[in-house]
Amino acid sequence: MRKAVVERATRETRVAVEVNLDGTGQYEVATGVGFLDHMLEQLSRHSLIDLALRAEGDLHIDFHHTTEDTGIVVGQAVAQALGDRRGIRRYGNATIPMDETLTRVSVDVSNRPYLVWRVAFPRPKLGEMDTELFKEWFQAFAQNAGITLHVENAYGENTHHMVESCYKGLARALRDAIERDSRIAGEVPSTKGVLNV
C-alpha cells in the first residue's frame, strides 16, 4: 500500500498529513486558510490521492508559513508513499481549461526536484491571501516530493480560475505519473535503474 503519514512542528506551524496514493480522492483538510483548503481538496479529488491534513499556523502574522509548510509536508508524504518509485509511469501532463483560463502542467516524478513557474496573476490578493504564496506552495511541494514540475498559464483573466487550474493541472498530471504501469511492473522507469538517489 502506497501510504504515508508525516508531521512537521516548528515555532511557526504544526502540520500533520496522511496520504494514500491509491485512494479515491477522499479528503479532510483544515489549514485555517479557506482558499488553501479549497485548493488542497481539488488536488485530492482530481489526483485520486486520499488526503487528510490538519495545520495550525501563525495566521495572525500572515498565511506564508502555513501555505509553504503544507506544501513541504504534502510533498514529503507523497515522496515517502512513492518509495523507490518502481513500476510507475513517471511522466504526466495535463491541460486544464477553466472558463477563460487555460493552464498546462507537466511532471516528472524523477526525484529531481525543480519548478518552472510561468504564471502571472492579475491581482496581488485573492480574498485575504497573497497570490504570490501559490508559487511558494508549488515550490515547496516540488522540492519535497522530488518532482520536476512545470506550470504554465497560457492565458486567463480571473485569478481564482487561474489558481484553481494550476492545482487541478497538478492533480491530473500527478495522477498519470504515479499510476502503476503493468508493462514495467516492479521496474524503475529509468535507464539508470534508480530514481531515489
Print pLDDT tens along the chain (197 aa).
899 999 999 999 999 999 999 999 999 999 999 999 999 999 999 999 999 999 999 999 999 999 999 999 999 999 999 999 989 999 999 999 999 999 999 999 999 999 999 999 999 999 899 999 999 999 999 999 999 999 999 999 999 999 999 999 999 999 999 999 887 777 666 656 666 65
Supply the pLDDT for residue 197.
53
CB 141 within 8 A of CB 149: yes
In this prediction, residue 191 carries a pLDDT of: 54
Number of residues that this document lists for the chain: 197
Q: Tell me which residue of 2, 39, 37, 34 sits closest to 18, measured CA to CA.
A: 2
Q: Cβ–Cβ contacts within 10 Å for residue 188, how many?
A: 17
Whole-number pLDDT of residue 123: 95
pLDDT score, position 156? 98
For Cα atoms 44, 45, 48, give the angle at the middle one, nearest 5 degrees.
Answer: 75
Q: Specify the pLDDT at position 182.
A: 82
Name the pairing type of β-strands 27-30 and 50-57. Answer: parallel
Q: According to the model, what pLDDT value does residue 185 have? A: 76
Q: What is the dihedral of CA 167, 8, 49, 146, to 10 degrees?
A: 70
φ, ψ of residue 176 in degrees (nearest 5): -65, -45
State the CB neighbour count (10 A cutoff) for residue 86.
16
Reading the block at residue 10, the C-alpha cell is 516548528
What is the C-alpha separation between 30 and 15, in angstroms, rounded?
A: 10
Whether residue 14 contacts residue 70, with contact meaning beta carbons closer than 8 Å, is answered with no
pTM: 0.94
Q: One-letter amino acid identity for 46?
A: H
Task: Write down the pLDDT at residue 194.
Answer: 65
Domains of the chain, CATH where assigned: 3-184 (3.30.230.40)
CA distance 103 to 94: 8
